[in-house]
Amino acid sequence: MEHDQNSDHPPPYYLAVVPTQPPPEYGEVVGTRGWSDTPSQPYHINQPMPHANVIHVSQSAPPRRKKSLSCENSSHCYRGSGEATLLLVFLVIALWLGVRFGSNGALQVKTNSAGSFLPVCYSGWNKGLADQTCAQLGFRASHSTSSVKDGSSTTLTVTGQTCNTIQGKVSVNSSSCLNKDTVSLQCINCGRQQSSRIIGGSAANLGDWPWQVSLHFRGFHTCGGTLVAPDFVVTAAHCFSRKDSSYLVPNNWRLYMGMVSQTMLPVPEMLEKIIVHESYDDNTNNYDIALLKLTHYVDYSNSIQPVCLPAYDKTVSPGTKCWTSGFGTTEGTARGSTSLMEVTVDIIDSSVCNRNTVYNGQVSQDMLCAGDMKGSKDSCQRDSGGPLVCKDSDQRWYLMGVASWGVGCGRSNMPGVYSRVSRLLPWVYSKMQQARP
Residues annotated as catalytic (active site), given as ranges: 238, 288, 384
Best CA proximity match to 405, nearest among 354, 367, 356, 349 = 367
Q: How many CB atoms lie within 10 A of CB 221?
A: 24
Amino acid letter, 286 = N
Best CA proximity match to 125, nearest among 105, 108, 145 = 145
Three-state DSSP class for 91?
helix
CB of 236 closer than 8 Å to CB of 403: yes
Best CA proximity match to 106, nearest among 96, 118, 98, 114 = 118
Listed in order, strand segments (DSSP E) in 178-297 are: 181-186, 212-217, 220-229, 232-235, 253-257, 271-276, 290-294
Question: How does DSSP assign 100-126, residue by residue?
Answer: EE-GGGBEEEE-TTT-SEEEBBSTT--
What backbone phi and psi angles, to 5 degrees, belong to 54? -90, 110
Torsion, Cα 427 433 436 437, to 10 degrees, reads -150
What backbone phi and psi angles, to 5 degrees, belong to 110? -110, 120
Instruction: Report the C-alpha gap between 355 and 359 in whole angstroms.
Output: 6
What is residue 36's DSSP assignment?
-
Listed in order, strand segments (DSSP E) in 50-190 are: 99-101, 107-110, 117-119, 144-149, 155-158, 170-173, 181-186
Q: Which residues pair with 341 in a beta bridge?
A: 203, 326
Parallel, antiparallel or unpaired: strands 321-326 and 117-119? unpaired
